[in-house]
Amino acid sequence: MINLIFIFSYKIEIEEQLKKEIQLYLTLKTAKKKFKLPDYLLIENKLSFKKDYTLFNVNGEKYIYIKSSYIKDKLKDKLFIIFYWDMIAIFSVAILYYLVLYRLIIKEKNYLKNFEILLLIFSHKLRNFLTTSKLNLHLIKTENKAQLERLFHAHENLAKDLENIQYFIKRLPTQNQSKNKINIPNLIKSLIDELELNKHFSIKFNCSEIYINAPYQDIYFALYLLFDNILKHAGQNVTIKCGKIKKLKYLIIKNDISENETKGLGVGLNVAEKLLATHGFKIKRKITSNFTIAIKF
């Protein structure tokens, strides 16, 4: 309906423009000025039949003819331009719609992925706590104060883990995490102290200062899980290297493997891998006589 109204109004506009143009030519003709009429226009002194021309108007004794296809051609040209710009507009809207829809789908996928990570983290932490508590409760029967301290320490760790998980839940709906400039060597040192790794292993620490931009809590979670895995399954020696080669930032953690049973090995590593992958970081594992993890930031 809108297009028909537009065509009709534009046809009237063309006719009005033609009338003005004809009036100008008639004025020039009256003044006996030399000029050449355009191909689409004829001015005759008498009524006659002109092939390919149609009588458009009569002005006194002058009969004005226009080319039969003139108005149609003008309308076609205008409609082509309108169609061209309509296609551009439709195509642009389609692209914008696709991009918005694509972003929503990606956001939903990330939300589900993060929720999966959250469940893995929670189950991993809770299982570790229950295992430790069961062992400690069994040893409490011997009235060993050291075991009571271990149980108390395990409760503190679980409380901290639950606090971190609460943070993780709060930021899930937004997905707009603020990035922090993280000093990797400092974070590693704080985790070594937090997990008291120095009390259990001989640690070789060789790290040059490197920074990455990422949500602090996610990187903390990932590295915590990696070092927590060392605490449970390493033998005696742990080597930590981090630095930068050209634009490549890396972290390598290597430990010997304990002869004790390693039941459940890998859950924490899988969670850490998912967290790091969320921010575009890659992790590789290698098991020989030692267990090596390499992270590319």
CA distance 254 to 240: 6
In a domain, 83, yes or no: no
pLDDT by residue (tens digit) across 190-224?
A: 999 888 888 888 999 999 999 999 988 888 988 98
Domain-ending residue, one of 27, 46, 68: 68
Choose one of 14, 33, 68: the last residue of a domain.
68
Is 253 inside a domain boundary?
yes
This prediction's pTM: 0.51
Distance between CA atoms of residues 66 and 196, nearest Å? 97
Q: Is the predicted pLDDT of residue 67 greater than 80, yes or no?
A: yes
Encode 48-73: b = buried (16+ Cβ within 10 Å), e = exposed.
Answer: eeeeebeebeeeeebbbbbbeebbee
Does 156 map to a domain?
A: no
Q: Looking at the domain assignment, is residue 32 inside a domain?
A: yes
Helix axes 145-171, 216-233, angle to 10 degrees: 150
In a domain, 75, yes or no: no
Q: What percentage of the chain reaches a pLDDT higher than 90?
A: 13
User: 30 is in which domain, residue-wise?
Assistant: 2-68
What is the number of domains present in the chain?
Answer: 2
Does residue 93 sit within a domain?
Answer: no
| Structure-model confidence comparison of residues 71 and 248, the more confident one | 248
- What pLDDT sits at residue 218? 84
At 265, is the pLDDT very low, low, confident or very high (cuts 50, 70, 90)?
very low
Q: What are φ and ψ of residue 142, in 5° steps? A: -85, 0
Which sign, positive or negative, has the C-alpha torsion 203, 208, 209, 210? Answer: negative
Residue 9 has which token pair?
């109004």
Q: What is the pLDDT of residue 100?
A: 82
Biggest CA-to-CA distance, the chain: 129
CATH number, position 273: 3.30.565.10
Q: pLDDT category, 138, cuts 50, 70, 90?
A: low
Find out whether 255 and 236 touch, Cβ atoms under 8 Å.
Answer: no
- SS3 sequence of 105-148: HHHHHHHHHHHHHHHHHHHHHHHHHHHHHHHHHHHHCCCCHHHH
Give the domain-ending residue among 48, 68, 88. 68
pLDDT of 253 above 80: yes
Whole-number Å distance between alpha carbons of 71 and 10: 10
Q: Is the model more confident about 31 or about 89?
A: 89
Sequence-distant (≥ 6) Cβ neighbours of residue 205 within 8 angstroms: 188, 189, 192, 240
Q: Has residue 98 been placed in a domain?
A: no
The Cβ of residue 223 has, within 10 Å, a number of other Cβ atoms equal to 22
Task: Please report whether residue 110 resides in a domain.
Answer: no
**How many other CB atoms are there within 10 angstroms of residue 271's CB atom?**
24
- Please write the tens of the pLDDT for every residue from 78-127: 778 878 887 888 888 888 888 887 777 777 776 666 666 666 666 666 66
Summarised one tens digit per residue, pLDDT across range 232-243 is 778 888 999 999
Instruction: Round to whole Å and give the CA distance between 292 and 275.
Output: 18
Query: Rounded to a whole number, what is the distance in angstroms from the first to the last CA of the chain?
Result: 59
